[in-house]
Every structure is written in structure tokens, then in C-alpha cells.
Amino acid sequence: MLLTTYASNYVEGVDKAFMLILGISFFFLISLTIVMIYFIYRYNQKRNPKATQIKGSTTLEIIWTVIPTILVLLMFHFGWMGFKTMKDKAPEGSFKVKAIARMWSFAFEYENGKVTDKLYVPKDKPVEVELIAQDVIHSFYVPAFRIKEDMVPGQEKYSWFIAGEEGSFDLFCAEYCGLRHSYMITTVEVMEQDKFFEWYGDTAKVSPFMEVDDLMAGQEVLRKNACLSCHSMDGSRLVGPTFKGLYGNKRVVITNGEEREIIADDDYIRRSVWDSDVDLVKGYNKGLMMNYKELVSEKELEDIVSYLKSLNEE
């Protein structure tokens, strides 16, 4: 017997509702078009030169009232059954992850302290995702899973699913959230349970496929905190200043409303990460960068400084 698998436990219900509504729509589109063409032919002026009065039909009125009502209720039933499952509480023992959205990237925080920029989940196990927006409204959207849930600052929001297929699936923000909204894309990586929990228990791996030593630690800190969404490493201008040629060079900044020139040293980088508006680089807008004091530790700051120094050596 051929068994059909789905990317998530919602796919079958959502697709059934979609195909039912699509099928009914096509049926009436084709049927009404045929009837319209027939009427144009049958009742044109040549064949029906004098208008004929047609009396009302109670039977016909009942038919075209009852049948559409049944069809609407049928569509509602299938749509509601798929929607209700999404809004049920996650099963007991679900694997828990925090999805943190900010302009303009996602970060995923696990209960053991791991933080990644892709969502890694085990196959065939319920996963409960706490949805956290740190700045504006975002949206957690995985098309292959048929999941879309808004992420609203200050509101407790959750989503859950069971991934049924191993592989990589696109994850978007589906709510316009600013200038680089279209860059806010990552993936859900679904793995067999033994492989996933092997990675989950290994704190030396930032992903199932890469050791920490394979990456420069500072670059990893920048990546997981979405810094590279707003700051380039090749000199191009984005929402924020480029990292290329930053360390040890002069910067013109606005401090307490006054313009001054400073050297981008360790202290400057620390201030910029923990509170970017203290020394705002001239030509950039105030308030675009969030405060990372609670998110980036002193050790991670040292890693960032080391990485920025290395960019000057390339």
C-alpha cells in the first residue's frame, strides 16, 4: 500500500479545503459560462424577436437557495476543521523553541541555550514555537507547512506543528516590516530524530553541519544577532554603516547633538553594540538599531572586535 506523507500535519486539511473551494469555483465558472453562451445563442433577437414573460418558480428559487447554502456550509466545515487544529494547544511533551523576529531576520533559541538563524526541528515530533517580535509586527510563515501566524510585540503568541518530511523548507516574514523586509528569509531544517538530538546535545555545534571552530566566533555572533542584515562587509551602504574598514579608522559621529570625530576602537564598538544612538554615525537615522546590551555578552563583544580587526587584514 502506498503511504502518503506530508511536510506537516496541517497540509492535508488545508489542501482539502483549498481544493474543495477551488473545485466548486471552477464548476460554477464553467457552468455559468456555458449557460451564458447558450442564452446568448438561444435568446438572441433573431430567434426571439419578442420578449417572453416568464413567471416565477418557487421550486427553482428553493433549489438555488438551498444548494448554495449547503455548498457554503460544506466549505466552512472543511476550512474550520483545518483551522481548529492549528489553534489547538500543542500536545504534551512537545519540543519547545523560541522564534525571535526583528528587523530584518529570525533567530531561534532552544531550551539548552543554543541560538541559530535557521530553525532545526526533529521529524515526526510535535514542535511548539513561541513567537516573539522585538520591534514591529512580523509574521511566521512556512508555506510548505501551511502555517502563517503574526508575531506582535508584547503579545504571547504560539504556533505548533509536526514535520512529516525530512528536508529544508523556506520560512518567510509575511508582514511588511520595513526597508529590508524582503531579506527576512530563512529555512526550517527537518532532520531525523536521532540526528537532531545528537546535534541538540552537542553544545560545540552551531548547526548540525558545522563546528564552532569552523566559523570565526565574531562572525557567528554577528550572524545570529541579525547584524549582517543591516551592515555589509564589502563596503556597500545598507541601513547601517559597513563593517569593512571599520576598526581603527576615524568615524564622524553625533554625540549629544554635537558632531565629533573619533577612532573606532574597542570602546566605540562596545557603545555601538550596546546603545548605537550614543555615538550615531553621521548620515544615519537615530532609533533604527535596537539595544543589544541584554543580548550580547562581554565575551561576544571581544569576539566581534577580533572579527572586525580581521576584516582590515583581508
Question: Which grid coordinates are listed for 191?
Answer: 532532520
Where do the structural domains in the chain lie, given as residue ranges? 11-36+57-87, 95-213, 216-313
C-alpha separations of 149 from 143, 159, 247 in Å: 11, 7, 40
Residue with cell 559597513: 242
Q: Measured between alpha carbons, how far is 68 from 247 in angstroms, rounded to an integer?
A: 69
Q: Measured between alpha carbons, how far is 250 from 121 in angstroms, rounded to an integer?
A: 45
207: nearest Cα among 283, 121, 279? 121
For 174-238, where are the E strands, in sequence order? 185-191, 205-207, 210-211
9: nearest Cα among 116, 121, 155? 121
Helix (H, G, I), strand (E, B), or coil: what is residue 217?
helix
C-alpha separations of 138 from 128, 152, 173 in Å: 18, 7, 6
What's the pTM value of the predicted model, to 2 decimals?
A: 0.73
Q: What is the largest CA-CA distance in the chain?
A: 93
CATH 3.40.50.10490 correct for 216-313: no
Question: Which grid coordinates are listed for 30?
Answer: 464553467
Name the CATH code of domain 95-213 (choices 3.90.950.10, 2.60.40.420, 2.60.40.60, 3.40.1000.10). 2.60.40.420
Contact assessment for residue 146 and residue 10, using Cβ atoms and an 8 Å cutoff: yes
For the chain, 314 residues long, give each residue's pLDDT as a single digit of tens. Answer: 344 578 899 999 999 999 999 999 999 999 999 999 998 888 888 877 777 777 788 888 999 899 999 999 999 999 998 888 888 888 998 999 999 998 888 989 999 888 888 999 999 999 999 999 988 999 999 999 999 999 999 999 999 999 999 999 999 999 998 888 888 999 999 999 999 999 988 766 667 766 554 446 777 777 777 777 778 777 777 777 888 788 888 888 888 888 888 888 888 888 888 877 777 888 777 767 777 777 777 888 888 888 887 777 65
